[in-house]
Amino acid sequence: MNIVWLMLLMVFSNGLSSDGIINTARPGFVNIGAILSLNSTIGKVAKVAIEAAVDDVNSNSSFLNGTKLRLAMQDTKYSDFLGIVEALSFMENETVAIIGPQFSVTAHVISHIANELHVPLLSFAATDSTLTSLQFPYFVRTTQSDLHQMAAVAELVGFYEWRDVIAIYVDDDFGRNGIAALGDQLAEKRCKISYKAPLSPYKNPEEITSALLQVSLMESRILVLHIYATWGLQVLRQAKRLHMMDTGFVWIATDWLSTILETDPSLLSKDSDNLQGVLTLRMHTPESPRKMNFVNRWSNLTTKERKANDPFWLNTYGLYAYDTVWLLAQAIDSFFINGGKVSFSNDSSLRGLHRGSMHLDAMSIFDGGESLLHSILQVNTTGVTGPIRFDTEKNIVDPAYEIINVIGTGVRRIGYWSNFSGFSISPPRQGLKMQLKNTSSSRQQLYGVIWPGQTTQKPRDWVFPYSGRHLRIGVPLRISYREFVARVDGSSDMFSGYCIDVFTAALDQLPYGVPYKFDSYGNGHSNPSTTDLLHMIAQGNFDAVVGDVTITTSRAKMVDFTQPYIESGLVVVAPIRKLNSSAWAFLRPFTPMMWCVTGIFFLVVGAVVWILERRTNNDFRGPPRRQVVTIMWFSFSTLFFSHKERTASTLARFVLIIWLFVVLVLNSSYTASLTSILTVEQLSSPVKGIESLVTSNEPIGYMRGSFALNYLTDELNIHMSRLVPFDSPEEYDKALKAGPSGGGVAAVVDERAYMEVFLSTRCEYSIVGQEFIKMGWGFAFPRDSPLAIDMSTAILKLSENGNLQRIHDKWLMRSACSSEGAKQDVDRLHIKSFGGLFLLSGMACILALLLYLIKMIRQFFKHSRENSQSVSLRLFLQFLNQREEDLQNRSKRRRSERASNRVVHEDGPIVF
């Protein structure tokens, strides 16, 4: 009898196979647990979905080979502590896997328990991306990660060309890690989170109001709301009361909003005013017959809830919960097929930990936990949510989201996002993954959005904050060049000048008002240091700097500059003298080197033509003296196209045609330059430009506080002992007149804008040489200030409509002196300007001589064979010196004589 009972016990504990044979490898059931918050939006849907999935698995007789899933479900009631307690209770009942927990914060703690006892956790709702780290090997997320959701949000920000966002989030592991992921994704798009507004995990209306009031004072109007579904609507309701749902704001809610709208569509009519224009994301699950079948079953599955007048609809997390059970069932089946056994062993580290009703020492390690975990990660199937498989980081592959716009009492899907195709208005298709890998902006597409305030115009990402505070604008208190910046009547906050007018005109172009006040910087006795003034922005003492501030690399590292509103650069100003006409003025158009090279080429071309023509052309033959004169005459007569010698050979004509073209260009250039020299007053200066200053040892002046000092010393390596600082144009004038011999300077180096004003009334000086560094002036703002971008756009508008030029003419109209310069060196023609022409002519001469030499060598060898002569250099030179006509006549006579001799030899002597 005992043997019979023992056999029955083995049958019920191990199960029977499908053919009635006892199966000792598979048990009759396996314990699985589920940890949910049953009153939450996700929890109550997940409960029904999990129970339906367990029933479907157990009712499928061909699945799991007879083994049943035995589900134990625990309600955490929104408590992380209860979640931990319930997880520990599962560990006492030989549970092989736990579905859940629902919240990421709870998952962080329970994952440590799972690691210790080797029990896999399969969460369909814990989206925190850090849970898949190496720290939690037994945690498996069966839904999409916040990492991908934040990538979609960041790409949405980049798609609409916004730069800064404000993050409002719950201040726990779920919120902080999600926003950290968002920050990383935004950085890849060259965007950033400009302000973070954390909220306590414990709903507090006063705290929500306080946080939103602080957000409303910020500059950015792009708000990302990453919060729990349980009280996310309360944040939006409070934002509506604070007028933060009006035109200009953008609200991007993560998938918590789409989840509650799916679960309770009636909220759209109840809270429609609080949700208008909000964008939210929803995990995309492709349409399939299996999904449609489950959706159609939902009404029957929730009959009890409808009778209790508490109906709820299926949401996306419910679909993932349903698939999680099937995924686990397939993994358990694979686990048994590979020889896995459900067995547990005591954890030696827990012995002796009996505390009250919690028998911690009763918890045991699942021996097959690692094998089951491997089977879970190897699952490759298709569920109601679509394809299910994991990548190497234990994330669901190919995540995709729908972009939802709340409009009226409904929602509108404006497009899709996937990590392999970016944005599109059609559902992402796995088959097109490789073709759509290019996610360039030209391929991105979304439908139009109705933004908050019932507008279709894309909101700006920044407005001037409603703080009521005036911007403090730092203005340098200059003692010179007051045309640019000057204080009006000794007032501390009223300024005029070119820079001030440009600034105020640019402000008028902005679509919003900017309250500001000017604040002078400087002692009024010397020009202030621009670098020190910009440091005041970095230290927070000024909100901007307006004035004659040059944009340099070192300064751009401290602040952000607008688009330059005036071009400027360093120039050299030196005393000049007028050049009077002289008897040798005709030599000025060409430099000495140009004259020498031109004369040499005249002789070279003449000699080449003489070589090519002398054997066939009598005009190039005669006594040596005559030939030299012919070469000289022919060469220089081409300058006036008056050469009388004809050219017969093709090679000589080829050389002459190219040379005549060179002569034509030289003639035209010389004439134009000489005309300019004789008709325009010429100025001369011993200083030719920055190059001559660097190589000399003469003193150089500069404006105190200017960046020119650093450039001269650091870039040009000019010793400080040669540099003399000045504070005003009057000091410039005095030092230049005195000169180096009188204790002054040879030249001054300053910015072109200043020097044009300086030269407008001083015609005895001029800019010499070229502007050797190109820069511009701009308005300075703190780093990453959106106002800098808007002001740059405004300056471009001023330039396009001509207002910028009108302001320039009002303050900086030049006189005749300022445009004069030391033209003497500029008007002279250098050899480098004609290098290509001379090179072309020289190559033509070389090519013609080479072809002529080859031709002569062939004729010489032919002539030597006909005359039975030896070949030598002396005979070759004699051959070249002979006229070609004489050689041809001589060859004819010799051929006639040889013919006569042959006739006499063949017929014998004639007898009379």
Look up tokens 């070192």; give the residue.
554
pLDDT in tens, 711-756: 899 888 999 999 999 988 899 999 999 988 888 999 999 998 888 8
E strands in 114-191? 121-123, 139-141, 164-170
Is 137 exposed, middle or buried (CB count within 10 Å of its CB: 0-12, 13-18, 19+)? middle
Q: What does the DSSP assignment read for 635-655?
A: HHHGGGT-------SHHHHHH
**Share of residues in the chain with pLDDT > 90 (%):** 40
Q: What does the DSSP assignment read for 255-283?
A: THHHHHHHH-TTHHHHSHHHHTT-EEEEE
Give the pLDDT confidence score for residue 294 in this predicted structure: 95
Contact present, 351 and 373 (Cβ < 8 Å):
no
Residue 453 reports pLDDT greater than 80: yes
Residue 1 pLDDT class (50, 70, 90 cuts)? very low
Residue 18 pLDDT class (50, 70, 90 cuts)? very low
Per-residue pLDDT, averaged over 18-30, amounts to: 60
User: Bigger pLDDT: 283 or 685?
Assistant: 283
Residue 881 reports pLDDT greater than 90: no
Residue 358 reports pLDDT greater than 60: no
Residue 16 pLDDT class (50, 70, 90 cuts)? very low
Give the pLDDT confidence score for residue 612 in this predicted structure: 78
Of 101-105, 165-169, 653-657, minimum mean pLDDT range: 653-657
Residue 12 reports pLDDT greater than 50: no
Per-residue pLDDT, averaged over 9-28, amounts to: 46
pLDDT in tens, 400-417: 999 999 998 899 999 999
Give the pLDDT confidence score for residue 885 in this predicted structure: 60
Query: Does the global pTM surpass 0.75?
Result: no
Neighbouring residues of 634: CB distance < 8 A, sequence distance ≥ 6: 606, 609, 610, 643, 645
Residue 701 reports pLDDT greater than 90: yes
pLDDT in tens, 117-153: 899 999 999 999 999 888 999 999 999 999 999 999 9
Rounded CA separation 764/577 (Å)? 7
User: Bigger pLDDT: 393 or 589?
Assistant: 393
Contact present, 602 and 633 (Cβ < 8 Å):
no
Residue 96 reports pLDDT greater than 80: yes
φ and ψ at residue 38, rounded to 5 degrees: -70, -20
Kindly report the number of other CB atoms within 10 A of residue 793's CB atom.
13
Residue 5 reports pLDDT greater than 70: no
Please list the residues that pair with 95 across neighbouring strands.
31
SS3 788: helix
Q: What is the CA radius of gyration of the chain?
A: 47
Nearest alpha-carbon partner for 413 in 405, 424, 421: 405
Interhelix angle 803-812/786-800, nearest 10 degrees: 80
Per-residue pLDDT, averaged over 280-290, amounts to: 94
Give the pLDDT confidence score for residue 649 in this predicted structure: 77
Neighbouring residues of 354: CB distance < 8 A, sequence distance ≥ 6: 360, 361
CA 757 → CA 174, 244, 476, 699, 732, distances in Å?
A: 62, 51, 18, 23, 13
Rounded CA separation 310/38 (Å)? 13
User: Bigger pLDDT: 624 or 243?
Assistant: 243
Rounded CA separation 391/909 (Å)? 116
Of 247-261, 525-539, 575-589, minimum mean pLDDT range: 575-589
Give the pLDDT confidence score for residue 282 in this predicted structure: 96
Neighbouring residues of 130: CB distance < 8 A, sequence distance ≥ 6: 173, 177
Neighbouring residues of 734: CB distance < 8 A, sequence distance ≥ 6: 744
Per-residue pLDDT, averaged over 462-475, amounts to: 77
Residue 13 pLDDT class (50, 70, 90 cuts)? very low
pLDDT in tens, 173-225: 999 999 999 999 999 988 999 999 999 988 788 999 999 999 998 888 999 99
Give the pLDDT confidence score for residue 350 in this predicted structure: 58
Kindly report the number of other CB atoms within 10 A of residue 191's CB atom.
21
Give CA angle at 734 (731, 739), nearest 5°. 120
Neighbouring residues of 655: CB distance < 8 A, sequence distance ≥ 6: 605, 608, 609, 612, 841, 844, 845, 848
Residue 10 pLDDT class (50, 70, 90 cuts)? very low
Residue 765 pLDDT class (50, 70, 90 cuts)? confident
Residue 440 reports pLDDT greater than 90: no
End-to-end CA distance of the chain: 168
Give the pLDDT confidence score for residue 800 in this predicted structure: 92
Please list the residues that pair with 382 across neighbouring strands.
387
Of 57-66, 622-631, 696-705, 830-839, minimum mean pLDDT range: 622-631
Of 243-252, 509-518, 557-566, minimum mean pLDDT range: 509-518
Please list the residues that pair with 387 across neighbouring strands.
382
Contact present, 77 and 39 (Cβ < 8 Å):
yes
Q: What is the mean pLDDT of the chain?
A: 82
Residue 604 reports pLDDT greater than 90: no
Interhelix angle 316-337/41-59, nearest 10 degrees: 40
Give the pLDDT confidence score for residue 912 in this predicted structure: 37
Nearest alpha-carbon partner for 223 in 204, 242, 202: 242
In single-letter form, the type of residue at position 887 comes to L
Give the pLDDT confidence score for residue 21 in this predicted structure: 38
Rounded CA separation 158/446 (Å)? 13
SS3 750: strand
In single-letter form, the type of residue at position 701 comes to G
Residue 815 reports pLDDT greater than 60: no
Per-residue pLDDT, averaged over 618-622, amounts to: 65
Q: What share of the chain is helix, strand, coil (3-state, %, to 5)?
A: 45, 20, 35
Give the pLDDT confidence score for residue 214 in this predicted structure: 92
pLDDT in tens, 327-343: 999 999 999 999 989 99
Give the pLDDT confidence score for residue 290 in this predicted structure: 94
Residue 823 pLDDT class (50, 70, 90 cuts)? very low
